[in-house]
Amino acid sequence: MCGIIGYVGRRPATPILIEGLRRLEYRGYDSTGIALVKRGNIAVTKSAGRLSVMEQMADMKAPQTTGIGHTRWATHGAPTDVNAHPHLDSTGRIAVIHNGQFDNDRALRTYLERQGIKCKSETDTEVLAQLINKFYQGDLEQAVRQALSEVSGAYAIAVVCSEEPDVVVAARKGGPLLIGVGKGEHLVASDPAAVLAHTSQVVYMSDGEMARITSDHVSMTTLDAIPVTREVEEVEWSLDEIELGGYEHFMLKEIMEQPGALENCLRGRIHAKDGSVHLGGLVDCTRELTRAKRFILTGCGTAWHAALVGEYLFEELIRTPTETEYASELRYRNPVIDDGTVVIAVSQSGETADTLAALVEAKSRGALTLGVVNAVGSSIARETDAGVFLHVGPEIGVASTKAFTAQVAVLAMMACYLGRRKHLSPSSAMQFIASLARIPQQVSEILGNADEARAVAQKYIEFENWLYLGRGYNYPVALEGALKLKEISYIHAEGLPAAEMKHGPIALIHEGMPVVVIATAGTQYDRILNNIAQVRARGGSVIAIATEGDREIARMAEHVLYVPDTIESLQPLLTVIPLQLIAYHAAVLRGCNVDKPRNLAKSVTVE
């Protein structure tokens, strides 16, 4: 989704802005632009298309030391040069970049038109630039504050003015924003990745806050002008983590780094010796959690799939009723939520608009809220009462991979942690934790045979429709495998609980159609073999994900991709790996832009 970078300091701003925008590219965008400020003039360079197009037009040697830059993902108006940010007011003295959407921009546009002010673009952002100019009387911060009091909706903005060339004003309400603190310079950005090359010291802005930023000073207030003080925090991520490091794509890098990522996620939290789990983020609310009458797990997309695995884990280990809800549905339903309900938001970015809104709604109804989040300092991490971070480093590839396995690992740890305080016996907990501790090594073994997944992708690359089937713990994995394939290779794929196939989708199966079946050892094994037989009888080609040593399956499936043995409840951590690899290779073989799939954004901060 849109990205913001701003700089005020002593160095020429252009290379810093362009570099920041490059770090934000992964979030998805369709146009880019920068604005450089000097007294009496703002120079804007912007264009539709990739960053490289705008970069060629920009003057890399421009002397200005204050500027703002933006990657836009079109919402109000098509992705054209005119609609690209930054937007100037009609006098050209104010420039604005904006993530989010204003709800009342049409009314404001009409109001401005009545005053003879006409906007050039179709964007809501230009409306704000015009408003700021209207209120400007020599104090940019005050003018921005006044203009924001007229708009409703969600935003993160950065604003510059040619009459105050050493100032950037930033504000947020519903969109992430942070200030990077350097020596004699400050940056403002929507994502830590954009500032990391210059500083790892950041101040996360909270909702409803504004900042006036110069090279030497930052003053923060609420939108109502009440001064606020925020701590400077250290970003844990290193620059290496946001670079390709020799891989062709971030998605492949992130698939391959899962063993290490999972180790980081589990480190210090699980103790195989006695089966105990230590989750610092839950200590203060453990009593409330053990007394909970119901858990609702919520999220979107891949995070929702991880939550669904979590539902199975919670019910089995904690024995407390648990439901998984799409955040986009939960926020608008009239859900029965009370103070006996715990709502757990699962989100890699911590910024997904629907998940955040569902959380706020649940909180207002009295629920205790927890986050299972990767991005420290993100809106969901700050909004929840407590939570557990994934600690897997930044996920840059648009298709979520290492976040999924870490989300499942965290939910598994939470299930065991709370289960032990309820019905789970010490010996069951020990077996569970010993199995969890082996997972990183087992993932590494699967990745060692990554070529087999490539061969499968190659063989079926011409097919436009795939089915993914799973049962029990592997049903969410079937959904996740199908989502991975469709989002990056644009092949249509459907994931189903295997038994549902005969209630309709079986009609789709035709000669040779690839059907991926997760058929690992466990309680569902015989039933899933029946499903395989049903697919074969209709001419489908079965690609089975099976447990190492299972020779029977090799007689029934065209292809078998083996995963090491583990307990059934942890199988999703292994069975998803070959499916991630199949999707990756299918996309590469079809020449798709794996890290920047069409129409997709890394973090969906609008509805």
Contact 162, 92 (CB under 8 A): yes
Q: Which is nearer to ligand F6R, 302 or 324 (CB)?
A: 302
Put the strands of the sheet holding 66-72 in their side by side order. Answer: 41-48, 31-38, 66-72, 3-8, 186-189, 178-181, 201-204, 233-234
Q: How many residues bind ligand F6R (CB under 6 A)?
A: 16
Q: Which stretch binds ligand F6R (CB under 6 A): 173-181, 240-248, 341-349, 444-452?
A: 341-349
Question: Minimum distance between the CB of residue 579 and ligand F6R, rounded to whole angstroms?
Answer: 12
Q: Collapsing DSSP states into helix, strand and coil, what is residue 30?
A: coil
What's the burial of 433, exposed, middle or buried (CB within 10 Å: 0-12/13-18/19+)?
A: buried
Q: Which is nearer to ligand F6R, 83 or 374 (CB)?
A: 374
Residues 379-418 touching ligand F6R, rule: CB under 6 A, are 399-400
Cα(543)–Cα(554) distance, integer angstroms? 10
Q: Which is nearer to ligand F6R, 155 or 404 (CB)?
A: 404
The alpha carbon of 536 is separated from its chain's Cα centroid by a whole number of angstroms, namely 38
Beta bridge mates, 234 = 201
Q: Which is nearer to ligand F6R, 71 or 302 (CB)?
A: 302
Return the half-sphere exposure (C-beta side, CA atoms, 13 A cut-off) of residue 359.
29
Tokens, residue 378: 């993100």
Question: Minimum distance between the CB of residue 237 and ligand F6R, rounded to whole angstroms?
Answer: 16
Question: Minimum distance between the CB of residue 348 and ligand F6R, rounded to whole angstroms?
Answer: 3
Q: What are phi and psi of 399, to 5 degrees?
A: -75, 120
Give the x/- contact pattern for ligand F6R in 19-58, rule: CB under 6 A.
----------------------------------------
Out of 134, 253, 402, 602, the active site residue is: 602
Question: Minimum distance between the CB of residue 304 and ligand F6R, rounded to whole angstroms?
Answer: 7
Regarding 349 and contact with ligand F6R (CB under 6 A), the answer is yes
Q: Which is nearer to ligand F6R, 101 or 347 (CB)?
A: 347
Question: Minimum distance between the CB of residue 19 and ligand F6R, rounded to whole angstroms?
Answer: 24
For the chain, give me the number of helices (H) and strands (E)? Answer: 19, 27
Residues 459-488 touching ligand F6R, rule: CB under 6 A, are 483, 487
Question: Minimum distance between the CB of residue 480 and ligand F6R, rounded to whole angstroms?
Answer: 8
Strand 31-38 to strand 3-8: parallel, antiparallel, or no bridges (unpaired)?
unpaired
Regarding 215 and contact with ligand F6R (CB under 6 A), the answer is no
Q: Which stretch binds ligand F6R (CB under 6 A): 181-189, 349-357, 431-439, 573-581?
A: 349-357
Question: Minimum distance between the CB of residue 261 and ligand F6R, rounded to whole angstroms?
Answer: 15
Question: Minimum distance between the CB of residue 369 and ligand F6R, rounded to whole angstroms?
Answer: 15
Contact 84, 46 (CB under 8 A): yes
Cα(135)–Cα(108) distance, integer angstroms? 14
Report the run of H or E that residue 189 belongs to, with start and end: strand 186-189
Regarding 324 and contact with ligand F6R (CB under 6 A), the answer is no
Residues 484-523 touching ligand F6R, rule: CB under 6 A, are 487
Q: Which stretch binds ligand F6R (CB under 6 A): 343-351, 357-365, 453-461, 496-504?
A: 343-351
Q: Which is nearer to ligand F6R, 109 or 402 (CB)?
A: 402
Question: What are the C-alpha distances in Å from 29 to residues 79, 119, 254, 401, 453?
Answer: 9, 23, 21, 21, 30
Q: Which is nearer to ligand F6R, 378 or 524 (CB)?
A: 378
Q: What are phi and psi of 276, to 5 degrees?
A: -95, 160
For 109, other C-beta atoms within 10 Å of its C-beta total 18
Comparing C-alpha atoms, which of 434, 442, 473 is closest to residue 277?
Answer: 434
Question: What are the C-alpha distances in Å from 310 to residues 473, 496, 544?
Answer: 9, 18, 24
Residues 546-605 touching ligand F6R, rule: CB under 6 A, are 603-604
The residue with its CB nearest to ligand F6R is: 301
Cα(23)–Cα(197) distance, integer angstroms? 9
Q: Which stretch binds ligand F6R (CB under 6 A): 15-23, 284-292, 344-352, 511-519?
A: 344-352
265 carries an active-site annotation: no
Give the x/- contact pattern for ligand F6R in 279-318, rule: CB under 6 A.
--------------------xxxxx---------------
602 carries an active-site annotation: yes
What's the burial of 483, exposed, middle or buried (CB within 10 Å: 0-12/13-18/19+)?
A: buried
Regarding 347 and contact with ligand F6R (CB under 6 A), the answer is yes
Contact 35, 95 (CB under 8 A): yes
Cα(91)–Cα(351) distance, integer angstroms? 35
DSSP 358: H
For helices 475-489 and 301-317, the axis angle rounded to 10 degrees is 170
DSSP 206: P
Q: Which is nearer to ligand F6R, 45 or 347 (CB)?
A: 347
Q: Which is nearer to ligand F6R, 379 or 524 (CB)?
A: 379
Q: Which is nearer to ligand F6R, 176 or 281 (CB)?
A: 176
Question: Minimum distance between the CB of residue 255 and ligand F6R, rounded to whole angstroms?
Answer: 12
Out of 2, 161, 265, 300, the active site residue is: 2
Q: Is the peptide bond before 394 cis (omega within 30 degrees of 0)?
A: no
Question: Minimum distance between the CB of residue 600 and ligand F6R, rounded to whole angstroms?
Answer: 8
Question: Minimum distance between the CB of residue 159 and ligand F6R, rounded to whole angstroms?
Answer: 27
Q: Which is nearer to ligand F6R, 347 or 435 (CB)?
A: 347
Question: What are the C-alpha distances in Å from 382 to residues 55, 117, 129, 142?
Answer: 35, 39, 30, 27
- Residues with active-site annotation: 2, 602
What residues make contact with ligand F6R under the rule CB under 6 A? 299-303, 347-349, 352, 355, 399-400, 483, 487, 603-604
